[in-house]
Structure 1
Amino acid sequence: MTTWFRTYYEDEDLWLYFEADDEGWAARQVEVRGQDSRPVSAASLEEVLHLRDHADLAALGRYERQYGVLAEAVLDGWQDQPQAAEISADEFERLWVEARRILGVSG
């Protein structure tokens, strides 16, 4: 079952929003700076896998510079992280669309 949740990374003042698949891997991830609510990443596992399988390392590097890097571990224990909470699919989708719009323009 897909889950959507957020956690807060205090050391970096970042809100991390995840769409996790039924095995607990990040399918999509958005990071938003707490200070100014500006998105700093919006990465998708599907896009990363497509680039890995159909492009070269340079293309993957460009993607990561523009959209950031996706979490590379199972997201177990997120409930124990600071300010962790489940969010709705709609809330995640709104954040995703806005982050991709902003990062797409600036990237």
Structure 2
Amino acid sequence: MTTWFRTYYEDEDLWLCFEADDEVCAVRQVEVRAQDSRPVTAASLAEVLHLRGHADLAAMARYEERYGVLAEGPVDGWQEQPRATEISAAEFERLWDEARRTLSSDSDSVV
């Protein structure tokens, strides 16, 4: 079952928002700076896997520079985090769309 949630990472002052699969692994991830609400990450597992299978290391580096690095492995245990909450699929899509627009606005997409 797909779940969508967000949690606050105090050390970096970031909201981390996840779309997670049945194994609670990140399928898509958005990170937003709490200070100014600016997205800093909008990474997708499907895109990362595509690049790993069809592109070179330079393309992967460009992707990570633009969209950030996707969390690897399970992201479970989020429910115990302070300020963590489940969000709707629609809310995640809104955050995702906004983050991708912001992070893609300076140049063409690398994928």
TM-score (structure 2 length as normaliser): 0.94
Aligned to 1:18: 18
After the TM superposition, which residues 1-107 of structure 1 pair with which residues of structure 2 at under 5 Å, given as runs? 1-106=1-106
SS at structure 1 position matched to 2:11: helix
Between stretches 31-40 and 76-85, larger displacement belongs to: 76-85
Equivalent-residue separation in structure 1 for 2:13 and 2:106 (angstroms): 21
Contact in 2 for aligned 1:20/1:28 (Cα 8 Å) = yes
Deviation string, structure 1 residues 49-90 (Cα, Å, up to 9, x no partner): 000000001100000000000001201101011200000000
Equivalent-residue separation in structure 2 for 1:81 and 1:106 (angstroms): 34
Structure 1 unmatched runs, 5+: none
Equivalent-residue separation in structure 2 for 1:34 and 1:106 (angstroms): 22
Aligned residue type for 1:99: A
Equivalent-residue separation in structure 2 for 1:41 and 1:25 (angstroms): 16
Equivalent-residue separation in structure 2 for 1:23 and 1:64 (angstroms): 24
Q: CA RMSD in A?
A: 0.8
In the TM superposition, structure 1's runs of 4+ consecutive aligned residues that sit over 2 Å from their partners are none
Equivalent-residue separation in structure 1 for 2:103 and 2:75 (angstroms): 24
Aligned residue type for 2:22: D
Equivalent-residue separation in structure 2 for 1:42 and 1:106 (angstroms): 15
Aligned residue type for 1:66: R
